[in-house]
Amino acid sequence: MTPDAPIIELRNFHYTYLEGTPKASEAIRDVSFEIRRGERVAIVGATQSGKSTIVDAFAHLLRLAPDQVFYEGGDVAAPGYDRGALRRRVGIVFQRPESQLIEDVVGADVAFGPTAAGIGAEETRQRVEESLDALGLPYPEYRLRYVHALSGGQQRRVAIAGVLAMHTPVLVLDEPMAGLDPRGRRELLGLLRRLANDRDLTLVVCSASLSDASLLCDRVVVLSEGRVAMDGPLREVLREAERLSSLDITLPEPVSGARELRELFPDLPADVLTEEELERELIKRLDVA
Amino acid sequence: MLELQRNVIFGQFIDTGSVVHRMDPRIKLAAVFAMLVASFLINGFLGFAVVLPLIVLIQVVSRVPLAYVLRGSAFFLGFLLFILFFQVLFYPGEVPASGYLWRWGILSISTEGLASAGILGLRVIFLYYVITMLMLTTSLVDLTNGLELIFGPLQRLGVPVNELVLVFVIAIKFVPIFIDEIERLARAQTARGVPFDEGGAIKRARRIGRLLIPIFVGGFHRADLLSIAMHTRCYRGGRYRTKLRQMSARPSDWLILALVVVWMLAAWLV
């Protein structure tokens, strides 16, 4: 396999929940895109745009028809495809993961994935320790705590640790920042960046807001009503700030700031990722004036 | 993968805007009651044969897809068949010697046993069908109001009608929520390596067992939240609650009720 081959590919993916019943609802109309190894992709879109359905499709958690979703070139819906192996490679942190903890005790929950994958006890223990430590939950202190007694933010970290411990080459996070306080967000963001660098992960982040995704990802796929509305490098997509906001996508603060300042400086670029960058661009224009 | 909702119709409401849907809920409940009583009174295959066209009529007029109803009832029908099988094998009634088709110790298959199991099966199916269609064609709001008005007079005797109806309706309302929750948990566990979409029936059943505790705990939590939410909006039960929408029965509703009652009488008396 060439290093440039897509690791995940969606080809004319369409999906209807409860198809053939009176409760049918069409979630995905037509979506095609590829994700390459090591890429960091943000999938953004307003609610009901189909993000979560796509996340489920990556690990074949839907009733998929064949020829739509491919992992390393293999059709995941083909008869006889090893779904277990697929799920050991694509790790998913669902929306509100704290409500999806399986075991009662922190250590056991984090060990759930590796154990189910048939990893030996000693290595599982190591992975649990390393994952909990990585999320700022020291292993000796937390491993025997009850998950229900933890705060919401801690529960979320346990859930993420549970997926990290599976050592999947692909990590998918659905709205990882929703409901976290600013400090929790900052910490999680730093952690994810570190992980993506250290472990050479392929990272997919779903969100209704570009402000977190813009700090994590270098490519953005914008969804709207079950179709791909935009797809490109982060800066290129940010330049179309008007269109993004018309699609109900929250812009990063510097970008929305730049958008407002355009009344004064019509040539101010919208693809400013940080406050510093915005400041520099402004100073440049102030000097000229 | 799991899409349990495909196979569960209990507690669902399918709005097709048909005549059945638009009936005054009180009258509809009265008609359902007439059919329930009839299902116990009818005592012969001929009677149920008379009922059949009415069922077909309800199915067609309501415009609820038949395939959907059947798929949702598959489990129930399978279970019923299972029970009836034993009903035939262990038929306790009197059987003339000529009635036995097969006999082994206390187990037997007799024409009498088959007939009694058949009647019982039809009775249960009729009952099940009527209740299912009531749910599928009546929104919870209508159902609540209808029940409250019908049983309202009991309130004077000290029966907490309002509260009982509320509990009943909330119970029904929780069914689809629970199913949703089960699906979500099953997806989460599948993603972490315990597949719910593979393996034999027993293996699957065992895995479902793992979900029960979180569902239970979640259910209590949800009920707690709901009661707090109702308190904050100043809910208080009892007969002093007023209705936003007054119900009014049209002559056509009474006509339908009369039709159902006469039909049931006919089925009983044939």
User: Which residue type is seen at B87?
Assistant: Q
C-alpha distances in Å from residue A287, one per residue of A263, A280, A281, A282: 18, 11, 10, 9
Q: Residue-wise over B167-183: b if at least 16 C-beta within 10 A, else e?
A: eebeebebebebbebbb
C-alpha distances in Å from residue A117, one per residue of A75, B14, B85: 22, 42, 43
Residues of chain B above pLDDT 90, percent: 36
**Residue B54 banded pLDDT, cuts 50, 70, 90:** very high
Q: Give pLDDT tens digits for A244-274.
A: 888 888 888 888 888 888 888 888 888 888 8
Interface mutation vs chain A, best among B192, B194, B222, B225, most A CBs within 10 Å: B192
Q: Is the ipTM of this complex over 0.85?
A: no
C-alpha distances in Å from residue A227, one per residue of A32, A38, A45, A224, A243: 8, 24, 10, 5, 15
Interface check for A174 against chain B (CB to CB < 8 A): the answer is no
Contact at CB, B191 and A59, closer than 8 angstroms: yes
Q: Give pLDDT tens digits for B225-266.
A: 999 998 899 887 766 677 777 777 889 999 999 999 999 999
pLDDT of B2 strictly over 90: no
Q: Give pLDDT tens digits for B127-183.
A: 999 999 999 999 888 888 888 888 888 888 888 888 888 888 888 888 888 888 888
pLDDT of residue B239: 61
Q: Could you give the CA distance from residue B51 to residue B35 in angstroms, rounded to a whole number?
A: 9
pLDDT of A1 strictly over 50: no
Q: Could you give the CA distance from residue A129 to residue B183 in angstroms, rounded to a whole number?
A: 30
A187 CB contacts (<8 Å, ≥6 apart)? A136
- Strands annotated E in chain B: 100-104, 107-110
Q: Could you give the CA distance from residue A191 to residue A131 in angstroms, rounded to a whole number?
A: 11
Higher pLDDT: A44 or B198? It is A44
Tokens found for residue A50? 């189909």
C-alpha distances in Å from residue A274, one per residue of A232, A268, A285, B68, B167: 19, 14, 17, 54, 54
Residue A235: in which H helix or E strand, if any? helix A234-238
DSSP, collapsed to helix, strand or coil, labels residue B86 as helix
Q: Give pLDDT tens digits for A137-182.
A: 899 999 899 988 888 888 888 999 999 999 999 999 998 888 778 8
Residues B30, B225: contact at Cβ < 8 Å? no
Q: Could you give the CA distance from residue B124 to residue B153 in angstroms, rounded to a whole number?
A: 30
DSSP, collapsed to helix, strand or coil, labels residue B117 as helix
First-to-final CA distance of chain B: 49
pLDDT of B1 strictly over 60: no
pLDDT of B201 strictly over 80: no
**Residue B191 banded pLDDT, cuts 50, 70, 90:** confident
pLDDT of B115 strictly over 50: yes
CA distance to partner chain B, nearest, from residue A282 (Å): 47
Contact at CB, A100 and B188, closer than 8 angstroms: yes
Of A60, A61, A116, Cβ closest to residue B193: A116
Contact at CB, B65 and A99, closer than 8 angstroms: no
Q: Could you give the CA distance from residue B51 to residue B86 in angstroms, rounded to a whole number?
A: 26
Burial of B51 (0-12, 13-18, 19+ CB in 10 A): buried
**Residue A289 banded pLDDT, cuts 50, 70, 90:** low
Residue listed under structure tokens 């067992």: B209
Interface mutation vs chain B, best among A15, A16, A23, A62, most B CBs within 10 Å: A23
Tokens found for residue B46? 């001929």
> Is the alpha carbon torsion for B124, B130, B135, B136 positive or negative?
positive
Q: Could you give the CA distance from residue A66 to residue B265 in angstroms, rounded to a whole number?
A: 54
Q: What is this structure's pTM? A: 0.81
Q: Could you give the CA distance from residue A205 to residue A35 in angstroms, rounded to a whole number?
A: 12
Of B6, B65, B191, Cβ closest to residue A92: B191
